[in-house]
Homo-oligomer: A and B are copies of this chain.
């Protein structure tokens, strides 16, 4: 009813703080930040990378992502679904400034800054609320932890290794 310009506005998709273990920072502008996105099926993100910063393997359960590099370079990739006898293919590309890459909905993907300078990317996502699942965090950092019987069998390591991994701090680079 009482709609106004501010309902379609978010002020300050600022450079993120990348002084962390991963050397990266994701700032997603979804329907929580712009109420006017409701039912409109889209959101936008800025991703900052320190030198050798990594946006680690993750998925968006409800969105495809299309990304362009606006500063620096990024080595990016995604892995396909299981397929009869030929799945889990890795597709990668080194993106220079102005290059564009697509990460299809729900597939595991990453972006890695192999260079000595900062890198910045802008991405569109095909959902008002795409979600983000950082694989390591969800698998080894869930609350409560997943049973180590399950993880030891799934990852072909002993339980001690699983327990050690679960004891680490799994930072979330999503702001």
- This chain's copy number in the assembly: 6
A93 touches B138 (CB 8 A): no
The CA of A168 and the CA of B156, in the complex, are separated in Å by: 8
The count of chain A contact residues (Cβ–Cβ below 8 Å) is 101
A5 / chain B contacts, CB cutoff of 8 Å: 91-93
* Contact among B105, B144, B168 with A61 in the assembled complex (CB-CB below 8 Å): B105
Identify which of residues 32-70 in chain A touch chain B, using a CB-to-CB cut-off of 8 Å. Answer: 34, 36-37, 40-44, 46, 54, 56-57, 59-68, 70
Does A160 lie at the interface of the complex (its beta carbon under 8 Å from any beta carbon of B)?
no
Complex: how many Å from CA A108 to CA B142? 11
B106 near A106 with CB under 8 A, answer: yes
Residue interface bits A75-94, CB-to-B below 8 A is 1, else 0: 10111111010011111110
